Amino acid sequence: MMAVAGELALAALAAILLAWLLALVLSHFLPLLLNPKAPRGSFGWPLVGETLRFLAPHSSNTLGGFLEDHCARYGRVFKSHLFCTPTVVSCDQDLNHFILQNEERLFQCSYPRPIHGILGKSSMLVVLGEDHKRLRNLALALALVTSTKLKPGYLGDIEKIALHVVGSWRQDGGGGRVVAFCEEARKFAFSVIVKQVLGLSPEDPVTARILEDFLAFMKGLISFPLYIPGTPYAKAVQARERISSTVKGIIEERRSPGSCKKGDFLDVLLSSNELSDDEKVSFVLDSLLGGYETTSLLISMVVYFLGQSAEDLDLVKREHDSIRSNKGKEESLTSEDYKKMEYTQHVINEALRCGNIVKFVHRKALKDVRYKEYLIPSGWKVLPVFSAVHLNPSLHGNAQHFQPCRWEGSSQGTSKRFTPFGGGPRLCPGSELAKVEAAFFLHHLVLNYR
């Protein structure tokens, strides 16, 4: 009897497992059968689809094997199964523009659910619909961009921090010292954004504590989303909670009687009665994230590409020598000096085009969308791939080569061919600030070091 019962249990378990596998296979491939007019493409294996191939590491100034293979086989718009959902991938500049400009009408932001667990439910990066519109409008009214853009105090802070970081490399004689430049760029970008948002100096103990938590936060943001104690994802969620607690403590301190205003972004934010405390904390975290990661990567990319082009480096150095020659030895840079950094801007744009810091964004079709000969089914994920447009040789001659001169006399900085900071209602509001920081840092770097 016991043997028979065991056999029945095993048979039942096998039947359940088989049914689960069949359901998994059916749910994976059923969208292919129900949507025959979707773009051509392939779905890969059940569950994982083609996600692992899509995310395989590759050089920033190349498309990578997945996109090269699929574009060659299916064209610049194709279907796939990515991030556990049917997906239309767009490497086409016109379709990318169409998607970004139709936010909340035809398409909606749709980042994977684990991202929400790290960023928080009130983050402007993940909220949708009217909530996003409300936060976005308030951000434009209060944000760092409008409260500090090119003001002398803001520019002065950038320059002081740049001089502090660059000058630190000469300590202890400087001879033979190895500098991990990407880490120095992170230090600079984080110091600038923490000063502007929270009024904290690089030497403040709170700054060091926030930076330590923020590094754990960033590692988890791009890790496998498995919430098990000790994993990068779990550490990131915990780090966000600690950063939130620190920011809330600073907010309470600012609200205490006798507290002095520092004139930073937090003071402006606290003057608003339209946000809850949780939304204010999310605003601060969004500002730190945007001002830290993009800017530090941009500066690193600029130095990386200039290090491979002696001619462009010489042109940049001449430009900054000219600017400095018209100023006193200790005289600070101004907004007028920034406007004179024309070739530096070409270098920054070209580093953004070749470096592709933001390769793609996540969207979802809210209804069946017909665009030219393509049908994008309702509910499918849509990935506009910016790097594929930036590296398209039919749009940019010698696309894989770093050539800042291509930007001379060009207006393509605001065109469909160049979208390093996204577009539409979710265009990054701090894009110009990242360029200012990169230009000022580069000024002191090329004047003091080979």
> Long-range contacts of range 155-160, CB-CB < 8 Å, 24 or more positions apart?
155/332, 155/333, 155/334, 155/335, 155/338, 155/436, 155/440, 156/332, 157/192, 157/195, 157/196, 158/192, 158/436, 158/437, 158/440, 158/441, 159/332, 159/333, 159/440, 159/444
Return the C-alpha torsion angle 321, 324, 330, 332, nearest 10.
-120
Single-letter residue type at 37: K
- Taking the CB of residue 395, how many other CB atoms lie within 10 A of it? 15
- Which of 425, 437, 400 shows the shortest CA–CA distance to 165? 437
CA 78 from chain centre, in angstroms, equals 24
Burial of 169: CB neighbours in 10 Å, binned 0-12, 13-18, 19+ = middle
Q: How far apart are alpha carbons 94 and 435 in whole angstroms? A: 26
User: What is the separation, in whole angstroms, between the first and last Cα of the chain?
Assistant: 84
Cβ(263)–Cβ(151) under 8 Å?
no
- Taking the CB of residue 154, how many other CB atoms lie within 10 A of it? 21
Handedness of CA 217, 220, 226, 231 (dihedral sign): negative
- Which of 351, 431, 438, 422 shows the shortest CA–CA distance to 61? 351
Q: How far apart are alpha carbons 307 and 431 in whole angstroms? A: 24
Q: Is 428 annotated as a binding residue?
A: yes
List, in order, residues 6 or more apart from 161 with CB less than 8 Å away: 188, 191, 192, 195, 202
- Using the structure block, give the residue that is written with the tokens 């190895």: 178
Residue 262 per-residue DSSP state: -
Binding-site residue numbers for heme are 428
Binding-site residue numbers are 428
